[in-house]
Structure 1
Amino acid sequence: MALIDTVRASLRTPGLRRRILITIAMLLVFRVGAHIPVPGVRADVIEQLFRGGGGLLGLIDVISGGAFRTFSIFAMSVIPYINASIIMQLLTVVIPRLEELQKEGEEGRRKIQEYVRYGTVVLAVVQGFGTAVFVRNQGALVSGSWGWVALIVLSLTAGTAFLMWVGEQITEHGIGNGISLLIFASIVSRVPAALVGMAELVRTGALNVLQVLAVIVLAILIVAFTVVVTEGVRKVPVQYAKRVVGRRLYGGQSTHLPMKVNQAGVIPVIFAQSLLVFPVTVANFFSQTHPVVMFINRWLGFQSPIYLLLFGLLTFLFTFFYTEITFQPDQVADNIKKAGGFIPGLRPGRPTAEYLARVSSRITFVGALFLAAITLLPYGIIAITGVQQAYIGGTSLLIVVGVAIETMRQVEAHLVLRQYQGFMK
């Protein structure tokens, strides 16, 4: 009922209703563009590649919301933007100038965002060229000339740049994070096709009702578990000292510092997946009968035991690595000290920073185990139910749950803001 009441209140609030309508309109533009094909590509050959069971192609297709299967202008989706953002986050730690920019407030963040845009275009050109060469080698072009390759690179880069603009418009004028919502829409758009596919398998006898029920029950349990861990926080108590200003007494209140169990979000999974997919992607550019290519496809194939082991291990390690970069105990402890606060039983400064580092390490260990488990769950579902298609991808699930929760929070925040404005008027 609370969800329904929130939706009703959102639609009754003029400013919020406008934001929601802008978001829906932009997402519709995205879905329409996902069906505009790139010129010069043979759709029948691309469809044949997917029927060949390419796990890598399937992964890209999920993120693009089916745009890669139809080889539309949005085939690369916002993947170059995500990669550019991750690279920029890492560079802000390595390059002092970027770190200074990040601390300069809104103007500095705007400058960093500008660098991300340039990086997105560069990565889109590189990825577009790799994609064009791949489909050319597979005989999917009407002509093998480099002119057609250039046209495909231009079309894919323009599509990614346009989606980047759409995402920014949603973030600025709509509801939620635009790029995240585009990925969310891509993943959710595949659900009807997955349900139809499952129904067809039941009709033909390839699946029985018990297997379908098992998949549904496991899906519900996994979603519930994901929501619990995503929302899980360790509350570190913080006490603020009393201060006398003039004749008034300020402070003295108790609050807490929320430390999320999964502070890294889905980024470590993307790191791990990108690293493992890279050699397979490069191998696709060469003859499939070459010994090295055959070795890579055999041992790093999408469902090979080595791939699964490395995927889980890298996800676990990258969670610690990324949390170490994004959460800085010294800076948090310094901010608490400047605000006149302290953690009960600890001195401000270094002891507080060491305590926060210990707490962060412990909850990151739990978060890393969760991420590693959730990425391997689809393969567990295959083993338990016998269903040979993983309808619930771990990465996709994390994105969908995270974006849905964050968007609802923003809607509620806007409603609260409107109520306060109403009181002030």
Structure 2
Amino acid sequence: MISAFASTWKVPELRERILFTLAMIVIIRLGVHVTLPGVDASVIAEYLAEKQKQGGDSGAGAAVGAMLGFFSGGGLQKMGVFALGIMPYISASIMMQLMTAVVPKLSKLAREDGGREKINQYTRFITIVIALVQGYLLAISLENPGNIPGLQGIGTVVPNHDWLFIFMTVLTIVTGTLLLMWLGDQITERGLGNGISLIITVNIISALPGALVITWQTLVTGPNAGPGASAFLVFLVAFLIFVIAAVIAITQAQRRIVIQYAKRVMGRKQLGGQTQYLPLKVNYAGVMPIIFATAILSLPTFVLQSAFPTAEWSVKIQNALAGGGLTYYLVAGVMIFFFSYFWVATMFQPSEISENLKRSGGYIPGVRPGKPTADFLDFTMTRLTFAGAIFLTIIFILPWVVSQMPRGIIGSELPFLVTSFFGGTSLLILVGVLLDMMRQIETHLLQRHYDGFLRKGKIKGRYDRLQNSGDRASKGTIVYLWVFVAILIVVAVSYAIYTGW
């Protein structure tokens, strides 16, 4: 594996794609720290420093606040131009995927030549609409920012909250979201991996240093630290390695259905007769059920908080559904189990697969073509989905379980910012995106006769979908890009020194 990483710099195309991707990541992270016009950045800095000393958020609302922080990369807490992050585009993409599977016209359009490009256009239009709505709601909420999840207890950050501020904030936030979307497209075409997914991954990783600091303060230098807390820290590291290994194994796990093709004679050539495999993933739905469940559970909280903010019954429901308690995880676990089957039933089409196999002369040994093949695939996928749904439910509940472990040792629970790396959406996205990047790098290495990351076999996955569609950036473009990044870094450091940060 070490030799594979060293070989990446020997391939010019791969080296230039890596440098381009790193430059885009630096620009994205610097943009997170650019505060919205009209917002008092000093209040935000003091609030974040105080929260860091207190060990982060815990209890009701901590899960929702940390999740919003992950997808915005801290832009929401810092009230920056990337406050919404890439979430409007993710929401629009999920909506279009569901509509493509349900609406016949969109399903037919997706199969036509150039249909995917039109669907991508529709997705971008929907992204603008969602960003406008969310940006307007966020601009209004900045009058009382303490109601925003993850910002409880913050003071007044907007001295002059008027319609001019709302207009400028909406315009800036929507522009920031569109800029992120464009940067993601550039990474997809000229860099490594899927740009949108990589932006989310970088935002998640950006919270890791803060989580490490909070863990050290809680278990090593905190008031309740001791030999038991230090031993628990060692256990946490070992348990994290085990969880990551398990997630990788389940993410790559698949049931390979044998497909036999009948022999055909065309002229003097004999076609067919070979054996191929149809891979059915155990976790076919990926992270989508968790996103659906958390999004739906957050809606009642926001509605009740706006309509009945002080009612006793409303406060109880908000605390139960805001995240951080056992009730929230139990309800979300049931919803994740349901949405796993819902996503597979919507996206997996056994009848279409059966018809395609029949047209190409393929069949499953022991199963008749046509409807029996569709029934067999549906039955097999149902059993696999059961295992995948249980896996997703366990992964989602695991952060709460880890947070409760040190109660008998230090007398308190771990903040969600720390335990979120042990499961949930963040861990699944991290593993999935990094595996895709490793597959793509390995493809480049194998094409040029270098060893991949694994000497025996390849990393499982679809290699034909991992190639970037655009040409790599030229050397001159990369040089100018890194000069621009260096100027930005120098300006940022100079401003930090000047303001005393």
TM-score by length of 1: 0.93
Letter of the aligned partner of 2:9 in structure 1? Answer: L
Conserved in 2, the CA contact under 8 Å of 1:134 and 1:284? no
Q: Determine the C-alpha separation between the residues in 2 that align with 1:291 and 1:150.
A: 35
Q: Determine the C-alpha separation between the residues in 1 that align with 2:370 and 2:402.
A: 48
Which of 378, 389, 395 matches 2:415? 389
Which of 114, 118, 127 matches 1:111? 118
Q: Does the alignment pair 1:409 with 2:414?
A: no
Q: Determine the C-alpha separation between the residues in 2 that align with 1:258 and 1:233.
A: 6
Letter of the aligned partner of 2:414 in structure 1? Answer: Q
Shift of 1:43: 4.1
The residue number in structure 2 matching 1:260 is 281
Q: Determine the C-alpha separation between the residues in 1 that align with 2:65 and 2:419.
A: 16
Q: How does 1:125-204 map to 2 (within 5 A)?
A: 125-138=132-145, 139-201=156-218, 202-204=220-222
Sort the Cα spacing of 1:375 and 1:100 in 2 relative to 1 into closer, same or farther, 3 A.
same
Shift of 1:95: 2.1
Q: How does 1:28-39 map to 2 (within 5 A)?
A: 28-39=26-37
Q: Determine the C-alpha separation between the residues in 1 that align with 2:325 and 2:24.
A: 39
Which of 39, 62, 72 matches 1:64? 72
Shift of 1:189: 1.3
Sort the Cα spacing of 1:242 and 1:385 in 2 relative to 1 into closer, same or farther, 3 A.
farther
Unaligned runs of 5+ in 2: 146-155, 408-412, 451-501
The residue number in structure 2 matching 1:423 is none
Which of 259, 265, 275 matches 1:238? 259
Shift of 1:94: 2.6
What is the DSSP-based 3-state SS (H/G/I as helix, E as strand, rest coil) of the residue aligned with 2:240? helix
Conserved in 2, the CA contact under 8 Å of 1:134 and 1:285? no
Q: Determine the C-alpha separation between the residues in 2 that align with 1:337 and 1:206.
A: 67
Q: Determine the C-alpha separation between the residues in 1 that align with 2:419 and 2:11.
A: 35
Q: Does the alignment pair 1:20 with 2:18?
A: yes
Q: Does the alignment pair 1:296 with 2:301?
A: no
String of CA shifts for 1:175-196, please: whole Å, max 9, x gaps: 1000000000011111111112
Relative contact order (alpha carbons < 8 A, sep ≥ 6): 1 or 2 greater?
Answer: 2
Unaligned runs of 5+ in 1: 421-425
Conserved in 1, the CA contact under 8 Å of 2:102 and 2:346? no
The residue number in structure 1 matching 2:302 is 281
TM-score by length of 2: 0.79
Q: Determine the C-alpha separation between the residues in 1 that align with 2:403 and 2:160.
A: 40
What is the DSSP-based 3-state SS (H/G/I as helix, E as strand, rest coil) of the residue aligned with 1:160? helix
String of CA shifts for 1:331-383, please: whole Å, max 9, x gaps: 11112222211100011111111100000000001001111110110001112
The RMSD of aligned alpha carbons is 1.9
Q: Does the alignment pair 1:87 with 2:101?
A: no
Conserved in 2, the CA contact under 8 Å of 1:242 and 1:250? yes
The residue number in structure 2 matching 1:400 is 430
Q: Indicate the percent of aligned positions where both proteins have the same amino acid.
A: 40
String of CA shifts for 1:95-139, please: whole Å, max 9, x gaps: 22211111014x110110011111111101111112122221334
Q: Determine the C-alpha separation between the residues in 1 that align with 2:242 and 2:382.
A: 27
Aligned length: 417
String of CA shifts for 1:271-328, please: whole Å, max 9, x gaps: 1110011122234445632345413323212123321111101111101101111110
Conserved in 2, the CA contact under 8 Å of 1:241 and 1:251? yes
Bigger Cα displacement from structure 2, 8-17 vs 184-193: 8-17
String of CA shifts for 1:196-250, please: whole Å, max 9, x gaps: 2222222124442022122212211111110110010001111111121222222
Q: Determine the C-alpha separation between the residues in 2 that align with 1:29 and 1:322.
A: 35
